[in-house]
Structure 1
Amino acid sequence: MTRAPATAATVRPMLPADAPDVLALLHWMDAAPEREVFAPDARDVPELCQECEGSRCFITEGADGVSAYAALSPFRDGLVLEGPLGEDPAALRALITRALASADGLPVYAFCARDNLSVRQALEAAGLTPMHSTAFYTAPLEALRGGPAPAGDCAVDTRLTLTEYRALYRAAEDTWADRLDWTPEQFSAHFAQPDVKLLVLRRGGQPVAFAELERRSEDARADMPYLAVHPAERRRGHSRALLALAAQEAARWPEVRSLRTRAHDHLHAARSLYAHAGMTHCRSVVTYLRETEEEA
């Protein structure tokens, strides 16, 4: 596949032949935490081409090849912006504008590192509004495993029915609403994965709190993406107990050495819990949204 020579930067749809250059941009992002944006998971050319098949992908091409990348992919009730990736502020703005023009009036989400100021400025100039930030915390497993045991009237379980999961999920955290739409098949498939574990505290047979674990073997890490405690059961030590149980359970994966978790900026109790448990703040990500044309 050949391209016509370009003498000035041009924004155009991505072609399969562009994949090696886009892959180089992904590796460039990986080299510095402050460059982080929502981006494809693939890190080789065949996987990248396959992953891009369901997205509307755009690149900026100049005399030296591809210099920036952005795409739109299905997400929640609308679309998510992948990227933009690149160093030139003008190219970032042009890519965002081109991507948004193909959004068909749907809401568009974007995620980027708090310190990625050039991308944040480009997103805000394009009309995306910051909604909240998410802080990530990490600690070695050994530092967390000695936490308090569950209250004496609580039993530890590893399963929830879908009805129980939805009820506790809905009561504990309304910003996780996308999981409320899971079908029974999706729910069962998720927790059947060998890299996913569920820890549940029950009191009187009723679930009062749960935590989820996901193994990230490539980083010798386990993530705890969700920790939920029913509002009526808070300030009873359930969160601290689940954090210790999560570290103990993660240690069953021989290659895992650390635990990472997260909390949105309005979850002050969770942030305080992680800080007092000795976890270190390692990164923050800002969530952006451009609402539908009807809502905006």
Structure 2
Amino acid sequence: MLATDVPDVLALLNWMDDAPEREVFSPEARSEGELKVECEDCTCLVDADEEGVLAYCALSPFRDGLVMEGPISDGGQVGPLLRHALERADGLPVYAFAARDNLPVREALEAAGFAPMHTTDFYSAPLSRLTPHACAPAGHRIVHHLPLATYRELFRASEDTWAERLNWTPEQVDEHFARPDVRLVALLRGEQPVGFAELEFNAEDARADVTYVAVHPAERGQGYGLTLLALAAAEADTRPELRTLRVRAHDHMKPARALYARAGLTHCRSVVTYMKEGDEDV
């Protein structure tokens, strides 16, 4: 990709934004300057003709391998673009994400050797639907900070899909929760934490995302999940620019899906995670 391609890539990103079924993992930048900076650490490829860029994809470090941005195409050649990108993967596994309804991209990924891992479903509700139930049960209290050892112990017991968080240094944990768009809501019975919810605020979309909601296995079945969702909504409601709470669950997480249904959240979006395994001999 050339520097002169940036305006066309930005136009492709905006084209993707216009329809939910076109969604793929993509750069966050939506200005030329920010996009140039974001692309500096990526391997960026385009399919272009004399009229400009028709398709875009990129590779950047992710987990144990690489993540693919795109492919995004408005008439370009996605198959050859994917092949060129994978030639630059250096034998590492490559992850990709596409909206469930983005059938052209999903078919292209599978033709290039990507296999679906799971589907993540998103659910949302207006804050006003949840906040009336935001109160701590008798004998419980709400805190917005946990000692690092306590947080890790509760996280380890409650979560099985985001284990990389346990490898964060104390400095990384402090830096994360010091962000103005991140908030922790934990529920304690006496001095014993029973569960927590983590929030990220997205003012641009007037939305708060619950990135994690977890109840200690020994405390489940007592309504703490519903309470934590309501407390998370109440925390988001302290920010007048936010209107909606959104949560997510992988397709195998049946208890979480049942919880969201009981809380009155409705399905709003589905994303399929793909992976192309690396070449162990490289």
Question: Would the TM-score normalized by the shorter structure come out above 0.5?
Answer: yes
Residues 1:177 and 2:163 aligned together: yes
User: Paired residue for 2:196, among 202, 210, 227?
Assistant: 210
1:1-296 paired onto structure 2 within 5 Å: 14-88=1-75, 91-147=77-133, 149-294=135-280
- Distance in structure 2 (CA, Å) of the matches to 1:171 and 1:87: 45
Q: Which runs of 5 or more structure 2 residues have no equivalent in the other structure?
A: none
- Distance in structure 2 (CA, Å) of the matches to 1:70 and 1:179: 28
1:59: how far off? 0.2
Q: TM-score if structure 1 supplies the norm length?
A: 0.91
Name the stretch that deviates more: 183-192 or 150-159: 150-159
- Distance in structure 1 (CA, Å) of the matches to 2:238 and 2:134: 19
- Distance in structure 2 (CA, Å) of the matches to 1:240 and 1:58: 45
1:169: how far off? 1.8
Give 2:96's aligned amino acid.
A
Q: How many residues align?
A: 281
Give 2:137's aligned amino acid.
A
- Distance in structure 2 (CA, Å) of the matches to 1:148 and 1:246: 8
1:156: how far off? 1.5
1:148: how far off? 6.2
- Distance in structure 2 (CA, Å) of the matches to 1:45 and 1:81: 20
1:104: how far off? 0.8
Give 1:121's aligned amino acid.
E
- In structure 2, the CA distance between the partners of 1:294 and 1:200, relative to structure 1 (3 Å rule), is same
Give 1:137's aligned amino acid.
Y
Q: Which runs of 5 or more structure 1 residues have no equivalent in the other structure?
A: 1-13
1:273: how far off? 1.3
Conserved 8 A contact 1:148-1:240: no
- Distance in structure 1 (CA, Å) of the matches to 2:154 and 2:81: 41
Work out the percentage of aligned pairs sharing the same amino acid.
60
Other structure's SS at 1:137 match: strand
> How large is the RMSD of aligned CA atoms in angstroms?
1.4
- Distance in structure 2 (CA, Å) of the matches to 1:288 and 1:152: 45
- Distance in structure 2 (CA, Å) of the matches to 1:165 and 1:99: 39
Partner of 1:3: none
1:146: how far off? 1.8
Conserved 8 A contact 1:86-1:92: yes
1:271: how far off? 0.9
- Distance in structure 1 (CA, Å) of the matches to 2:66 and 2:147: 30
Q: TM-score if structure 2 supplies the norm length?
A: 0.96
1:63: how far off? 3.0
Give 1:183's aligned amino acid.
T
- Distance in structure 1 (CA, Å) of the matches to 2:104 and 2:41: 27
- In structure 2, the CA distance between the partners of 1:290 and 1:98, relative to structure 1 (3 Å rule), is same
- Distance in structure 2 (CA, Å) of the matches to 1:293 and 1:66: 31
1:208: how far off? 1.9
